[in-house]
Structure 1
Amino acid sequence: MNRETRPNGGFTLPELIITIAIAAILLGIATPIWHKWTEHAAHRTAVNQYHTLFSFARWSAASRHLLVTVCPLSAQGKCTDNWQNPIFVFFDANNDKKPDNGAILRSFSFDGARFRIRSRTGGKGYLQFNARGMIHGATGSVILCPKSANGTAMSYMAVNKGGRFRVEHDTDGDGIIKLPWGVNISCNA
C-alpha cells in the first residue's frame, strides 16, 4: 500500500475543525447584516403599503365622486384611533364613520411585531377624501415606529390637503424628524 494515498472516506479531524471554525465566523458576521437588511426591507414594505392604501382611497373617492374614509374600525364597525388594528378603506356617503352597507373597499394589517403606528389625526382617528380626491376636513398623518433599536429608522407619513401622500424619514437615526415648518416628530411623544 502506498503511504501517500488516502482513502476517499472524508475529512481529517483538523480539516473538520477548521471548516467549522470558518463557517462559525462567517455566520457571526452575516447574521447581524441579514437581520438589519430584513428590518429595512420590512420598513420599506410598510411605507409602500400605506402609500398604496392612501392612494387607493384617494382614487376611489375621485373616481366614484363619493366621500371615502380611512381608519381602523372598532368591534362595532365605527372608526377608532387605534392604528395598531387593521386599517380599512370604505365609502362613507353619510359621513357617519362607518362603512356604507358594511362594504369594505380594502383593508391593511401591518407588521405589529416589528412596528408600532402612531396617528396624528387630532384624536379623531380617521382621514377622509372628498369627491375630488382631496382631504375632507383636517389633514393627518401616521408615524411608523420600529420596536427594535437595531438601525431601522422611523418614518412620518402624511397626507396633505390636496390628498397627496408624502414621507419623511429619520435620516440621521436620532429618533426625531424635524418637519420643514419646525415641528419635531418622534416615536416617544
Structure 2
Amino acid sequence: MKRYYFGHTLVEVLASAVILGIVTSVTLPNLSRFLAQSRLDNSITKIIKSLHLARGYAVSHATNITVCPLISGSCTDHWQNAIYIFEDGNSNLSLDENEYIIKVIAKIHKNDELDYPRTAITYRADGSINFMQSGSFLYCNQIFTDLTGNQITVSQVGRVRIKDSDKCKIPTL
C-alpha cells in the first residue's frame, strides 16, 4: 500500500525562507520611498481637487469661498493642520455663525510638510482669488526631499498647476 505525505520537508521550508529573505531585503528599502511618493501624490491630488471645488463653488453660487487652516475659527498659516473650505461671505478669513463648512482636508502625515506663503486663499464669484493671495504650495517629505510633483502654484486668476520643485529642505542630522 502506498503512503502519500502532504507537506514540505525542512529543506524546502528553509529554501523558501532564504528566498523570501532575499526578496524582502531587496524591496524593503524602496518600499518606504514608494509609500512616501504615493502619499505625496495623493495629498497633492486632494489639495488640487479641493481648490477646484472651492473655485467652482464660488462661481456657481456667486459667493466668496475661503480655503485655509482654521484655529479657533480664524485662518492661520499652519498649513500642515486640517484645511477647511468654507463660505466666507464677508471675506474676513473667519468662520462666522452664518457661514458653513463645505469640505475639510485631513491633517497631513507627520513626516511631511506643507507650506503656503499666505494665510488663506479666497475665491470670488468670478473665479479669481483676492489680491495678494497667489503663491505656491510646497509639499515636502522630511526623509525623501527629492520626491517629484511637490509644488502647486495658484495664480491670481484662480487657476492651479502642479510641477516639481527642488526647494525642499535637506534634513539636518
**TM-score normalised over the length of structure 1:** 0.79
Cα distance per residue 1:98-153 (max 9 Å; x no partner): 124241111101432231111122xxx11111110111111122110112228634
Q: Give the whole-Å Cα distance in 1 for the aligned partners of 2:145 and 2:11.
A: 37
Q: 1:47-98 CA deviation, whole Å, 9 max, x = no partner?
A: 10010111111111111111111110112x0111111111111111111111
Q: Which residue of 2 aligns with 1:68?
A: 65
Q: Structure 2: state its 5+ residue gaps.
A: none
The residue type paired with residue 159 of structure 2 is R
Q: 1:150 & 1:61 partners in 2: Cα distance?
A: 35
The residue number in structure 2 matching 1:89 is 85
Q: Percent identity among equivalent residues?
A: 25
Q: 1:15 to 1:112 in 2, by over 3 A?
A: closer
How far is the alpha carbon of 1:154 from its aligned partner? Answer: 6.3
| Bigger RCO (CA 8 Å, 6+ sep) | 2
Number of aligned positions between the proteins: 168
What letter is aligned with 1:46? S
Q: Is the 8 A contact 1:68 1:92 kept in 2?
A: yes
Matched position secondary structure for 1:28: helix
What's the C-alpha RMSD, in Å, of the aligned pairs? 2.2
Q: State the SS of the aligned residue for 1:134.
A: coil
TM-score for both structures, normalised by structure 2: 0.85
Structure showing greater Rg: 1
Instruction: Return the alpha-carbon distance in structure 2 between the equivalents of residues 22 and 186 of structure 1.
Output: 38
* Secondary structure at 2:85 match in 1: strand
Q: Gapped runs of 5+ residues in structure 1?
A: 171-175, 177-184
